[in-house]
Structure 1
Amino acid sequence: MIRIAAAAEAFDRDLEADFARIERIVAAARADGVHLLAFPEACLGGYLAHLDGGADQPPALRLDGPEIARLTAIAGDMVVCAGYCEDGGGDTRYNSVVCVGAGRVLGNHRKVHQPLRESASYDSGDSFTAFDTPIGRIGLLICYDKAFPEAARSLALDGAEIIVCVSAWPGSRTNAPDDLAEDRWTRRFDLFDRARALENQVVWVSANQSGRFGSLRFVCSAKVVDPGGDVLATTGVAPGVAVADVDVAGALAAARRSMAHLRDRRPDAYRALAPSMM
């Protein structure tokens, strides 16, 4: 049994303030016995400003740089996932999420699918790879990646037992209701989370930004979803931390006992997918 937590929290350009929030949340999670904690996309330096016509960009951080080392030190024996702008060398920047724990970087993912002109600020990643951690095999996604079933399926086929998807997912920008719970983009966010968990029969951990950044109003809705697509814990449309205790191996075995979606696949019948799988 492991305790899993996903945060809905606001982060901005003030990196020191971002680290202060992370330290506070990690400390509270550690006191609560959490083993895996997911923070949102772009939690180290905030999200993009160009969507509102702004020119400032989040700070570009190296995977082997002092900021990721600082995050690793804060995590200690906890497994922590956090989004950041990755310095890829030269003018290359990626929208990335790092997973740290046990005193080292355990995994890193560069966002592959880029909506809303993100390609003007970031280069695109080109792969989905699961990796081993002290609490099991994990795969990472970022926000819009989860709208593409092939992304999560690739991680599940690579043995991911837990998929962590970090987001800066906003509510509707047109005809937006006052209540985020009634927003169509909140419903889509939640639907993707439950569908990806169910179709791949994995534990799904979804973190998201909260509050506002420029004209964007984030939907929160951090959650933990079991392999049957049931939400075990959620923050709803408010900031906070969703926490759930999960017997990961037991939950996967129970979900896959009769109808095992990965086992029962028929790749030979999916001819239209063949070119993109090569």
Structure 2
Amino acid sequence: MSTIRLALAQQAAPDDPSRRLPLLRRWCEDAAADGAHLLLLPEMWSTGYAPQRMNTDHAWDDDELVLAEIPRLAAGLGLAIGFTYLARVDGALRNRLRLYGADGAIALQYDKVHICDFTDGTETALQGGDGFVCADVALGGETVRVGAMICFDREFPEAGRALMRQGAELVLVPNACPMRDDAELGDVRLQQLRGRALENRFAVALCNYPAPQYDGASCLIDARGRLLAAADAQASLLPAELDLAALRRWRAEQDEVWGLAALRPSCCR
């Protein structure tokens, strides 16, 4: 099987913490029943990307409960699950994506490198990660080279290029910001992400929050920058399919144009 089936959970985080696990279980079960190999949630879904929770005084008990359940769900359903949360590293907090494989083991772990400092100083209490990482992940009978960018990371071309140099085939992007409904920017962020995919020859799966928190636009983009699946602004569990064999054929055909052999980093300073 060369088709990788994804489920993008464009869903809001409930205010009541007791509702989080039941909802997550339901979405995982629905995704698995639909044949998905991987489910991705928006950035820091369990907290709803809430600024008031980004401080070192919080015990993070709710996140720990969810984290304890996810490997059981993954192994029980044979479903890889990508979940972003606040992690402690040497006393500091980091914005972390953890991808559990279909066997329940940690397949990929990545800490957000580029920390935002917008008008509300949302992430200034957090520590940036140490670098971009890729891992070989079993999905639907295939071994896929998976990397990650978290939200603001995708604004920087170097993030995509770092993953490209590590051989990324599929990049996961948990997100928490407007993607296309901006009075000044329009859909430029979505187009920007399509450019990231094309220039680095990898597919991108982005999962954002629905309206009214943000504006949805969760999507799967192939390595040619084409939208394979896209959500509107409403809450949904978006199915998306990636033809891995086609991606690999195209990458091989384009190696001389887009591949590592064409890079001349000494000229880009």
Change (3 A) 1:106 1:268: closer
Aligned-partner SS, 1:198: helix
> For this pair of structures, how many residues does the alignment match?
253
Name the residue aligned to 2:109: 108
Normalising by structure 1, we get a TM-score of 0.82
Identity of aligned residues (%): 25
- 1:209 is aligned to 209
> Separation in 1 of the partners of 2:17 and 2:215?
22
Q: Partner of 1:29: helix, strand, or coil? A: helix
Other structure's SS at 2:149 match: strand
User: Which residue of structure 2 lines up, in the alignment, with residue 70 of structure 1?
Assistant: 69
1:134 match: 138
> How many Å separate the matches in 2 of 1:22 and 1:182?
29
- Paired position in structure 2 for 1:10: 12
1:1-278 equivalence runs, <5 A: 1-12=3-14, 14-49=16-51, 55-57=52-54, 61=60, 66-76=65-75, 77-90=78-91, 92-101=92-101, 102-115=103-116, 116=118, 117-135=121-139, 136-170=144-178, 181=181, 183-185=183-185, 187-212=187-212, 217-258=213-254, 260-272=257-269
1:236-256 Cα shifts (integer Å, max 9, x gaps): 222212222222132232244
Unaligned runs of 5+ in 1: 50-54, 172-179, 273-278
Hey, what does 1:176 align to over in structure 2? Answer: none
Please give the alpha-carbon distance, in whole angstroms, between the structure 2 residues aligned to 1:29 and 1:204: 19
Secondary structure of 2:187's aligned partner: helix
Change (3 A) 1:184 1:34: farther
Amino acid at match of 2:50: L
Distance 1:60 1:141, change over 3 A: farther
SS at match of 1:40: coil
> Given residue 258 of structure 2, which amino acid in structure 1 is its aligned partner?
H
CA displacement at 1:226 relative to structure 2: 0.8
**1:181 Cα shift?**
4.5
Taking structure 1 as reference, are residues 186 and 70 closer, same or farther at Cα in structure 2, changes over 3 Å only?
A: farther
Query: Residue 87 of structure 1: CA displacement?
Result: 2.1
- Which residue identity lines up with residue 235 of structure 1 in the other structure? A
Q: Which whole-Å CA distance do the structure 2 matches of 1:43 and 1:253 have between them? A: 35
- Name the SS of the counterpart of 2:173 in structure 1: strand
- Structure 1 residues 60, 87: CA separation in 2 closer, same or farther (over 3 Å shift)? farther
Q: Output the TM-score relative to the length of structure 2.
A: 0.84
Residues 271, 197 of structure 1: alpha-carbon distance in 2 compared, 3 angstrom cutoff: closer
> What secondary structure, in the 3-state scheme, does the structure 1 residue paired with 2:81 have?
strand
Q: Which amino acid aligns with 1:170?
A: P
Name the amino acid aligned to 2:45: C
